[in-house]
Amino acid sequence: NKQVIFKQFVEGFPKESDMAVKTSSISLKVEEGSNAVVVKNLYLSCDPRMRFRMKHSKDPGFVSFQPSSPLEGFGVAKVVDSGHPEFKKGDLVWGTVGWEEYSVIKNPESIFKIHHTDVPLSYYTGILGMPGLTAWAGFYEVCAPKKGEYVYISAASGAVGQLVGQFAKLMGCYVVGSAGSKEKVEILKNKLGFDDAFNYKEEHDLDAALKRCFPEGIDIYFDNVGGKMLDAVLLNMRLQGRIAVCGMISQYNLGQSEGVCNLMNIVYQRIHMVGFIVFDYFPQYSKFLEVVLSLIREGKIVYLEDIAEGLENAPAALVGLFSGRNIGKQVVVVARE
């Protein structure tokens, strides 16, 4: 069983050498009397949140990756044996799996059966999985959007951002995204239907860039990056604006987070700034799935994926999230069937 092993706790930016690809043996049969499920992993999801589990924590409620054990994350898999009444051999599932060819799922509450296979299976790591639900809940529930509002999204070409932008366009909003390369900016404007986009790495003055894109200010900011960008956005929010704090990837690898100076604007502009965690919205998954599957089938929404082939390339794919190497949702293919 080929595995991506977590070698050691990480400080600063994660490196490929914090992980190693090794082979071990595994029984593909469920033990008598156990309700475990054995799966063959097909697609693995690279998620920024995996960085949190790479750090050592004294908090008993926090589950770090275990050194010398495989990493874990969301994935799509096929059941090869099952002691659980809800799963049988051949079922396709998505949920939490190990970064390895085969996983024994001891807690099958963390996997969900896939019923719709007329879309790419890898979509259950992205648009139809955790990042999709994040975009959906974060935009529709947290941002409370209205037609015609001015919407800004950072890390806009990624797994979550590209969907928030498309949802906002479907709602009739004016949508601008930022991303870290010229190629990503072109994709935002030409493939994903954003009204405008800019490369934040080429802007010396983020406040000026936002004023250029939003002369009348921003109603909704979907924050994926935090830090200096959030500070600049606070100078450009309209009255009663909303900020959905989805994540702050610019801060995850810093020993100490950067300060944000313009918080007083939250008071002046009566801004609602709300953090949210996708797991609180899992009870709404079936409603979300129905809506987003229809949008995909009707061709009203597209989804960009960046596919890395094989477990050998998984460490580089994961680390690449923090340098912006990925264009779209970063997926690792372990096997296609």
Using the minimum distance from each CB to ligand NDP, give the nearer residue, 79 or 333. 333
* 155 SS3 class: coil
Q: How far apart are CA 136 and CA 138, in angstroms?
A: 6
Cα 114 to Cα 94: distance, rounded to the nearest angstrom: 7
How would you class 117 by CB atoms within 10 Å of its CB: exposed for 0-12, middle for 13-18, buried for 19 or more? exposed
Cα–Cα distance measured from residue 78 to residue 25, given in angstroms and rounded to the nearest whole number? 19
* Contacts to ligand NDP from residues 5-24, by CB under 6 A: none
The vertex-233 CA angle with 230 and 235, nearest 5°, equals 120
The reply to whether 48 sits near ligand NDP by the rule CB under 6 A is yes
- Using the minimum distance from each CB to ligand NDP, give the nearer residue, 110 or 269: 110
Instruction: Give the residue from 225, 221, 223, 222 showing the smallest Cα distance to 253.
Output: 225
Is residue 217 a contact residue for ligand NDP (CB under 6 A)? no
* Cβ–Cβ < 8 Å for 111, 103: no
231 lies in the binding site for ligand NDP (CB under 6 A): no
Helix (H, G, I), strand (E, B) or coil at 329: strand
Token pair listed for 152: 């800004």
Q: Could you give the CA distance from residue 32 to residue 119 in angstroms, rounded to a whole number?
A: 36
Closest approach, Cβ 226 to ligand NDP, in A, equals 8
Q: Quick one: which of 127, 278, 333, 334 contacts ligand NDP (CB under 6 A)?
A: 278
**Does 277 participate in binding ligand NDP (rule CB under 6 A)?**
yes
Kindly state whether residue 247 participates in binding ligand NDP, applying the rule CB under 6 A: yes
With tokens 């275990």, the residue in question is: 66
Counting contacts by CB under 6 A, is residue 129 touching ligand NDP?
Answer: no
Question: Does 180 interact with ligand NDP (rule: CB under 6 A)?
Answer: yes
* Selected binder of ligand NDP within 153, 179, 192, 333 (CB under 6 A): 179
Q: Check binding of 134 to ligand NDP (CB under 6 A).
A: yes
Q: Are 255 and 149 in contact (CB under 8 A)?
A: no
C-beta closer to ligand NDP: residue 248 or 301: 248
Toward ligand NDP, which CB reaches closer, 76 or 249?
249
**250 scored as a contact of ligand NDP (CB under 6 A):** yes
Closest distance to ligand NDP from the beta carbon of 109 (Å): 19
The distance of closest approach from Cβ of residue 317 to ligand NDP in the complex, given in angstroms and rounded to an integer, is 11
* 224 belongs to the binding site for ligand NDP (CB under 6 A): yes
Asked if 218 touches ligand NDP (CB under 6 A), the answer is no
Judged by CB under 6 A, which of 79, 153, 159, 206 binds ligand NDP? Answer: 159
Structure tokens at 151: 């919407």
| 86 vs 203, beta carbon nearer ligand NDP | 203
Count of CB atoms situated within 10 Å of the CB of 12: 8
User: From the list 97, 164, 308, 321, which residue makes contact with ligand NDP (rule: CB under 6 A)?
Assistant: 321
- Residue 52 binding ligand NDP, by CB under 6 A: no
Q: Which is nearer to ligand NDP, 180 or 315 (CB)?
A: 180
Angstrom distance (rounded) from CA 305 to CA 318: 14
